[in-house]
Amino acid sequence: MKLVIFGCGRIANRIAKSAKLVETIDLAGFASKDIEKAKAYCETYDCRDYGNYDHFLSGDVDAVYIAGYNPGHYDLIRLCLEHQKNVICEKPMLFDVRQTEEVFELAEKNGVLLMEALKSVFLPSIAEVKKMMKEGQIGEIKSISASFMRAGHHPQTHWIHDLTTGGVFKDLGSYCIGTMNFLMDGRPKLLKLESDRTAEVSESTAYADLSYGGIPARASVSNSLDGDNHLFVEGDKGSIRVKNYWKEGRIEYRIGQETFVKEVPLISDFYYELKHFAGLCDAGKKMSDVMSDKASLDIIAVTSQIDSTVGGLQRG
């Protein structure tokens, strides 16, 4: 599968390194509005070609990884799909339900694959957690929580600081909500959403109380506060905890009074989503069974509600 990366920001480096590890991916080049930056990336990763977006859309590439500025995703997704290119798009893919529905309909119309790149749900460690839950190793599930709280994670130039499109809940919240949705097999009901968002400034901290069919859940995100970045599942016979669950494979769990550690080796955090996507493309599949249109819509249905929420927390 010939893959081109659209966007040459910081995250493109990590995506490219992982793409080089997937045997079925031919990393064919980089595209950017800044041609010199695309050229530099091409030289770094020993790729054949670079240019602007139109240069590759008229060529023979099979797929595009959209890794650029998130508020620009919608236009780029549409452009790629209209040129019959398979698309994997970095999370958060889009910011509202209507646009998300629209691009998946466009992908179907053009007979190509569209998939949101939420890397956590493709990790073998998260698959192992789901297996443990399904097998009843910690008994009946009583609660679940996920957090991503890291002061200064986004620089002031990041799009999350733009009130019109941004906010930390739409970005980091997608990891929390998406991973819990994957483990709980569904969309939660939002019970309460608090943040330090104001009428003038996007939120830097948010807490969401949720319910999965009566099972309580909580998502905690912040760009201004440090926290215990973890996934935690509590059952009536034990519990499971994964720190930095979006990129690490160490599973700590308790059954009764005994505690255990399971180390799940990871090749790289982006490797598994890329391998899954390449496999779908090679097989001619038009929808992921892990990150489907429904999976993306189930995330954005929750995270987009921050737009109508102001106040509740002091900024700090």
Q: Are residues 50 and 66 located together in one domain of the fold?
A: yes
Predicted pLDDT at 126:
98
Q: Are residues 151 and 237 in the same domain?
A: yes
List per-residue pLDDT tens for the chain, 316 residues long.
999 999 998 899 999 999 999 999 999 999 999 999 999 999 999 998 999 999 899 888 999 999 998 899 999 999 999 999 999 999 999 998 999 999 999 999 999 999 999 999 999 999 999 999 999 999 999 999 999 999 988 777 787 788 777 789 999 999 999 999 999 999 999 999 999 988 888 889 999 999 999 999 999 999 999 998 999 999 999 999 999 999 999 999 999 999 999 999 999 999 999 999 999 999 999 999 999 999 999 999 999 988 776 655 655 5
- Per-residue pLDDT at 310: 60
Identify whether residues 247 and 152 lie together within a single domain. Answer: yes
The CATH number for 303's domain is 3.30.360.10
Is the domain of 283 the same as that of 303?
no
Burial class of 119 by CB neighbour count within 10 A (0 to 12, 13 to 18, 19+) = buried
- pTM of structure: 0.95
Q: Are residues 303 and 166 in the same domain?
A: yes
Measured distance CA(280)–CA(112) in Å, rounded: 10
45 and 164 inside one domain: no
Number of domains making up the chain: 2
Is residue 186 situated within a structural domain? yes
The backbone torsions φ and ψ at residue 66, rounded to the nearest 5 degrees and listed phi first, read -85, 110
Confirm whether 293 is domain-assigned: no
Q: Say if residue 219 is in the same domain as residue 147.
A: yes
Q: What is the pLDDT of residue 235?
A: 98
pLDDT at 220: 97
Residues 12, 30: Cα–Cα separation, whole Å: 9
The CATH number given to whatever domain includes residue 39 is 3.40.50.720
pLDDT at 24: 98
314 within some domain: no
* Backbone phi and psi for residue 119, each to the nearest 5 degrees, phi listed first: -60, -30
In a domain, residue 294? The reply is no
Give residue 210's domain range. 121-268+299-308
Same domain, 157 and 303: yes
Residue 99 lies in a domain: yes
In a domain, 315, yes or no: no
185 shares its domain with 83: no
Do 14 and 158 belong together in one domain? no
Whether 72 maps to a domain, the answer reads: yes
Give me 222's structure tokens: 């912040």
Judge if 172 and 219 occupy the same domain: yes
| Same domain, residue pair 156 and 283 | no
